[in-house]
Structure 1
């Protein structure tokens, strides 16, 4: 790990660890955010603890107090977010305790986040993470009584401080918030590849009112524009992070979201390097922040893609072990032998 990182100048607190492009900090994000300069963050991607029925080891708020708790972060989130920046939250739903009735807490939270007199954020677009490998849950209503189906989708809110008022943004103008779907194009399906090759499809008017041009679908645009549904199975069991946790007898973070989520939004909402012409941010390249860092997958993904990153995490054990993502096995072994980080105190003793 490096002795210092390019984002260290943004904070008064000392970091728990640094990498070539980022720094991780231990503490309550409500306090750590106050140390950041105004408009210094280009993208916040995070997955906070959900308002679940049962308390987890990593800590989570009860449903009846969750939204009040979450809104405590928002004034500082707004302050540190750049004018072109985005705030992306992956937030799962829940059933009410003891009843087969869905809680509406995440929708009520969205209403507060976008209320002009409270959160004052704009909903740029809603996304959905579909986990096809999700186990049947909740157990009582799906497995036991069999009166509900598996809850396999979580909501992702893409929010910003402002939205281009004029929907017809000039080509030489930068959009607000920063975004380009050309950075997240997906491979064409086999049928679309065949269509492009043959040029054969039914043009003309559709029942929806669309009038399909005779050449509209035959153009090769290097890929398909993605939908707002991210399909990813959260079943990885042999990643470097998990291998190192097992190798050195540490508990891994129990609620990690898949790499596809931070990867998609980092690509979509921040430009790719090189940054010779980057002049929209506080630093010389985009800064990505996760205010509920967990195992710091967001930071590692940002580093791999050449962005600066910062991670805030209140649970010290999870933050300490998150540095495994940035270290080779021999580096971890040396660090533990020398006890440079105090990490050994978190090792399982059973």
Structure 2
């Protein structure tokens, strides 16, 4: 294992699911496993913890009344491991109070506690809209029809120091609209006079609007469909009769923040790895990565993201399930679009 961000002799083979060219998947409690990483080593933690839902899920979500303290313990463990310019990004879904159509404030209480008690700065809130979200919660949306469906998650972008926090929006520019492309080519059609002042107070100039910056600055409302159905991960789970992780977030979500907040060779960590979408993306983007996952089953089946040969994937899955340390070296994970 050639990763210099671990404390020497802190990792044993029983913790390791598998190792790739860029990263390592570890099984165990994230709070304990974070202690194996040297302080001020991590550039980005991007994760999607189990949400505080009213119904218990197979991946082990907490009840709302204990959720805030539970999640903030992980935030407390992450804090000293981040570099001074590092970021902590949490995708956290909404929920309703038990037995009533009152929207829970738990994700906001998590944010306030992380900032007021642990010391994080809120760099910027993001919101992830999933246009393929199913109508939920069932009681208030489908049955009684008194609420709109929930299709937006809050994504808190936190950092240790907002002034130092590494970020480059130029790495996540979005394609220009057809109208903007035309404005760049023919600004005279849109701006009749240099220095025109709009009602908003903005001063328009042909020279500034005709400059092609390579794309548009993205908004903090991210729209990524979470409708994965034909990925390699799901295919192999189905072929082998293995239960896939039921709450995967789309590749595009960690991809956005890894590109935005890190550089090539930086260290990216996911403390609730699930099917290891984050590690998969980090590997493709040539970042070092570490994933922590409590369930051995999910650690083992996440190997399917990194192996394109079906027979080999099943063989390595079986080895992980029998506590054998697996290495997947000199291979690039194949990108299967959803």
The residue aligned with 1:242 is 234
The residue aligned with 2:336 is none
The residue aligned with 1:173 is none
Specify which of 282, 291, 303 is matched with residue 311 of structure 1: 291
TM-score w.r.t. structure 1 length?
A: 0.86
Partner Cα separation in structure 2 for residue 39 and residue 333 of structure 1: 37
The residue aligned with 1:321 is 301
Distance 1:231 1:186, change over 3 A: same
SS at match of 1:123: strand
User: Displacement of 1:236 after TM fit?
Assistant: 1.3
User: Displacement of 1:330 after TM fit?
Assistant: 2.6
What pairs up with 1:77-116 in 2 under 5 angstroms?
77-115=78-116
Specify which of 191, 194, 197 is matched with residue 182 of structure 2: 194
User: Displacement of 1:188 after TM fit?
Assistant: 0.6
Partner Cα separation in structure 2 for residue 121 and residue 211 of structure 1: 36
What pairs up with 1:179-328 in 2 under 5 angstroms?
179-199=167-187, 200-202=189-191, 204-272=196-264, 285-328=265-308
Distance 1:61 1:334, change over 3 A: closer
What pairs up with 1:3-18 in 2 under 5 angstroms?
4-6=1-3, 9-10=6-7, 12-14=10-12, 15-18=16-19
Partner Cα separation in structure 1 for residue 18 and residue 50 of structure 2: 23
The residue aligned with 2:137 is 138
User: Displacement of 1:10 after TM fit?
Assistant: 4.5
Query: What 5-or-longer segments of structure 2 have no aligned partner?
Result: 324-338
SS at match of 2:67: helix
Single out whichever of 315-324 and 211-220 deviates more from structure 2. Answer: 211-220
Partner Cα separation in structure 1 for residue 314 and residue 279 of structure 2: 22
Partner Cα separation in structure 2 for residue 156 and residue 136 of structure 1: 21
The residue aligned with 1:168 is none
Instruction: State the number of aligned residues.
Output: 314
Does structure 1 retain, via aligned residues, the 8 Å contact 2:226–2:249?
yes
Does structure 2 retain, via aligned residues, the 8 Å contact 1:131–1:231?
yes
Partner Cα separation in structure 2 for residue 221 and residue 314 of structure 1: 43
Does structure 2 retain, via aligned residues, the 8 Å contact 1:287–1:307?
yes
SS at match of 1:215: helix
Single out whichever of 216-225 and 231-240 deviates more from structure 2. Answer: 216-225
Does structure 2 retain, via aligned residues, the 8 Å contact 1:204–1:214?
no
SS at match of 2:208: coil
Partner Cα separation in structure 1 for residue 6 and residue 111 of structure 2: 33
Does structure 1 retain, via aligned residues, the 8 Å contact 2:303–2:316?
no
Please say if 1:40 is aligned against 2:41.
Answer: yes
Query: What 5-or-longer segments of structure 1 have no aligned partner?
Result: 165-175, 273-284, 345-350
SS at match of 1:73: helix
Partner Cα separation in structure 2 for residue 10 and residue 97 of structure 1: 44
User: Displacement of 1:143 after TM fit?
Assistant: 1.0
The residue aligned with 2:54 is 53
Partner Cα separation in structure 1 for residue 280 and residue 169 of structure 2: 22
User: Displacement of 1:263 after TM fit?
Assistant: 0.2
Partner Cα separation in structure 2 for residue 140 and residue 205 of structure 1: 51
SS at match of 2:156: strand
User: Displacement of 1:224 after TM fit?
Assistant: 0.8
User: Displacement of 1:5 after TM fit?
Assistant: 4.8
SS at match of 1:16: strand
User: Displacement of 1:74 after TM fit?
Assistant: 2.3
Across the aligned residues of Structure 1 and Structure 2, the Cα RMSD in angstroms comes to: 1.6
User: Displacement of 1:34 after TM fit?
Assistant: 1.4
User: Displacement of 1:271 after TM fit?
Assistant: 1.7
The residue aligned with 1:278 is none
Does structure 1 retain, via aligned residues, the 8 Å contact 2:174–2:217?
yes
Partner Cα separation in structure 2 for residue 249 and residue 91 of structure 1: 30
